Amino acid sequence: MSQVPPKSLTETQDTDTPSAGRRSFLKTTGLTTLGAMLGMSVPFERNLTAGFIPAALAQDTGLDLMTGKQGLVVLGDRPLNAETPPHLLDDDITPYDRLFVRMNGLVPQSALDQNAEGWTLTVDGEVDTPLQLSLDDLQSRFETVTRQLVIECGGNGRAFFQPGTSGNQWTFGAVGCPEWTGVRLADVLNAAGVKSSAVYTGHYGNDVNLDGDETKEVISRGVPIEKALQEDAIIAWQMNGAPLEPLHGFPLRLIVPGFPASASQKYLNRIWVRDKEHDGAKMTGASYRIPAYPVAPGTEVPDEDMVVLMDMPVKSIITFPETGSEVTVGEETEVRGHAWCGKGDVASVQYSLDFGQTWQDAQLDPPPNRFAWQRWRARLTLPQHGYYEVWARAVDQDGIGQPPLSPVWNPRGYGNNIQHRIALVAVG
Ligand SMILES: Nc1nc2c(c(=O)[nH]1)N[C@H]1C(S)=C(S)[C@@H](COP(=O)(O)O)O[C@H]1N2
Ligand SMILES: [Mo]
């Protein structure tokens, strides 16, 4: 039942020399090595928490890009990946400083410079009229829409699968719900005229492979054309009323809500309409795919039996209070969080105070728009001193809820919607 990542990920490896230290610092979260790397003692070292990046080491690693991100846990620096502890996701609209970061390659120079000069979005392939759209074209030719839309990494929750699966060991925090401004993907596709031969989209951005080779594709995913033509997906140039930040796709990105966020291409410069399932980087093999049938944990599944992960499963998190908080016996306490679902609206959220024996309905707000996360809240009173847990589970429109343990295992650890639990201590 443990919701702690596998021990191997937090163990110190003692092979690092001070010179190798910068790059590998994050791989050795043993903070006792910090002093050795800096070549001096760190008097307040005990105050440093796991994932914290000392400023002295941040420059070379690209982690200076994390300046402005508050309290995120960095899982890796190359590529840069960081998640948000659930109690920092309490906002209805996730602010920049609390939005997770998932890079498959390096942030492109154009984004680092926030230079969008000459940027064009190409729409080509199975369309009547291929388009080359500047940012101005997008903003003037199409209706602008603003929506709160969840993005969640397909691998969110991977850390809880047993046996473990390779990839970033995300726990609960590779998710957020910012407010995005842009134009409907469908409007742009319709302006190009989608041919009847169209089957899939293929998305491209200008981020750079980890080895610096600019000719290599980093990630290029797509979605079935029916999904692309629904009115929910947008091509965004703003997040929370400001231009996209370098980490989140400046100057343009897709947001395809409901699907794993890998479909939400950052640094978007081309949409290729395909006459078959897209086969770009990380679209084939086992990437973002699950077995077509349930398999026993640890099973090796041949690539041809893997299908594209589409709708993300129903999920909820508890964002207040922070796990481990003390509350006063006999006094009413609010517990709250968010719930979302790849298929659309969530039907209900329940919580349990007795390790899952009984469940009570939480109050669930309607979403401000489709595919935004929904606020849930409950008021509870702890009857006597001691240790409690609050468990939360959301249920989708088809009556499918979150499992108390990990859902069906899959080789790459996608779509884990295990229930989130917090500890509460009743005192006073
Ligand atoms: N160009 C580009 N787009 C990308 C990625 C990437 O590495 N490069 N990562 C994808 C994945 S796997 C996720 S989960 C989301 C993360 O979005 P965020 O970093 O803005 O939170 O972006 C997606 N879009
Ligand atoms: Mo992702």
Question: In this structure, what CATH number is given to the domain that contains residue 226?
Answer: 3.90.420.10
Low-confidence winner among 1-10, 59-68, 180-189, 376-385 (lowest mean pLDDT): 1-10
**pLDDT confidence of residue 179:** 98
Q: What is the pLDDT of residue 32?
A: 52
Alpha carbon separation from 290 to 155, 224, 369 (Å, rounded): 11, 17, 29
- Please indicate, yes or no, if residue 223 is contained in any of the structural domains: yes
Q: What are the residues facing 73 on neighbouring strands?
A: 83
- What's the distance, Cα to Cα, between the start and end of the chain in Å? 29
Band the pLDDT of 48: cuts 50, 70, 90. confident
Ligand nearest to the CA of 101: 1
Q: Is the CB of 265 under 6 A from ligand 1?
A: yes
Q: Is residue 288 located within the same domain as residue 180?
A: yes
Enter the tokens of residue 361: 């309905």
Q: Has residue 91 been placed in a domain?
A: no
Q: What is the pLDDT of residue 425?
A: 95
Average pLDDT, the chain: 90
Using 50, 70 and 90 to split pLDDT, how confident is the model at 170?
very high
Domain-terminating residue out of 308, 335, 354: 308
Asked if 130 and 254 sit in the same domain, the reply is: yes
The answer as to whether 23 is a domain residue is no
Q: What percent of the chain has pLDDT over 90?
A: 80
β-pairing verdict for 120-125 and 131-134: antiparallel
pTM of the model: 0.89
Q: What is the CATH number of the domain that holds 417?
A: 2.60.40.650
- Do 287 and 354 have their domain in common? no
Is residue 243 domain-resident? yes
Give me the domain span that covers residue 211: 110-308
308 residue type, one letter? V
User: How sure is the predictor about 36, in pLDDT bands with cuts at 50, 70 and 90?
Assistant: low
Whether 91 has a pLDDT exceeding 50, the answer reads yes
**3 state DSSP class of 106:** strand
Does the pLDDT at position 25 exceed 70? no
**Residue 237 host element (H or E):** strand 234-239
Report if residue 28 sits inside a domain: no
Last residue of a domain, one of 261, 292, 308: 308
Task: Tell me the average pLDDT across 284-308.
Answer: 94
pLDDT confidence tier of residue 10, bands split at 50, 70 and 90: very low
Mean pLDDT confidence for 306-326: 97
Q: What is the pLDDT of residue 16?
A: 32
Q: What percent of the chain lies above the pLDDT cut of 70?
A: 87
Of 308, 342, 365, the residue that ends a domain is: 308
Q: Is residue 145 part of a domain?
A: yes
With a 6 Å cutoff on the Cβ, whether 259 touches ligand 1 is: no
**Least confident residue range of 38-47, 51-60, 260-269, 411-420:** 51-60
Residue 271 lies in a domain: yes
For residues 310 and 290, give the distance between their C-alpha atoms in angstroms, rounded to a whole number.
Answer: 10
Tell me: do 182 and 221 sit in the same domain.
yes
Query: Rounded distance, CA 172 to CA 153, Å?
Result: 10
pLDDT average, residue stretch 32-36: 61
Residue to substitute in 264, 268, 283 for testing ligand 1 pocket (most ligand atoms within 8 angstroms of CB): 264
Position 334 in a domain:
yes
Res 401: pLDDT: 97
Residues 149-158, mean pLDDT to the nearest whole number: 98
DSSP secondary structure code for residue 12 in this structure: P
Domain count, the chain: 2
416 and 355 share one domain: yes
Beta bridge partners of 181: 146, 238
**Are 189 and 291 within one domain?**
yes
Domain shared by 190 and 297, yes or no:
yes
Angle CA 242–245–250, to nearest 5: 100
Same domain, 184 and 283: yes
267 plus 131 within the same structural domain: yes
CB distance 98 to 84 below 8 Å: yes
Average pLDDT over residues 164-177: 97
Residue 29 has a pLDDT of: 45
Asked whether 104 lines ligand 1 (CB < 6 A), one says yes
Contact 156, 259 (CB under 8 A): no
**Which is the closest atom of ligand 1 to the Cα of 248?**
20
Whose Cα sits closest to atom 20 in ligand 1? 248
Q: By the 8 A CB rule, do 185 and 259 touch?
A: no
For ligand 1, whether the C-beta of 151 sits within 6 Å is yes
**Higher pLDDT, residue 428 or 248:** 248
**Looking at the structure, do residues 272 and 338 belong to the same domain, yes or no?**
no
Ligand 1 binding pocket includes 123 (Cβ within 6 Å): no
Over residues 133-146, mean pLDDT:
98
**Rounded CA gap, 182 and 308, in Å?**
27
Residues 294 and 323 in one domain: no
Q: Which residues of 68-89 are buried (b: 16+ CB within 10 A; e: fewer)?
A: ebeebbbbebbbbbbbbbbbbb
- Res 103 pLDDT > 60: yes
Q: Is the pLDDT of residue 59 over 80?
A: no
How many angstroms separate the alpha carbon of residue 132 from the centre of ligand 2? Answer: 28
Atom of ligand 1 nearest to the CA of 101: 19
Residue whose Cα lies nearest atom 16 of ligand 1: it is 102
Check whether residue 236 and residue 121 sit in a common domain: yes
Whether 104 contacts 207, CB under 8 Å: yes
Confidence of residue 8 (pLDDT cuts 50, 70, 90): very low
Going through 11-79 in order, the beta strands assigned E by DSSP cover 73-77
pLDDT over 70 at 3, yes or no: no
State the maximum Cα–Cα separation within the chain, in Å, rounded to a whole number: 71
Whether the CB of 99 sits within 6 Å of ligand 1: yes
**Helical spans, DSSP H, in 247-395:** none
Please, what is the Cα angle at 370 between 238 and 337, to 5 degrees?
90
Tell me the residue length of the chain.
428
- Average pLDDT rounded to a whole number, residues 195-202: 98
Nearest ligand for residue 152 CA: 1
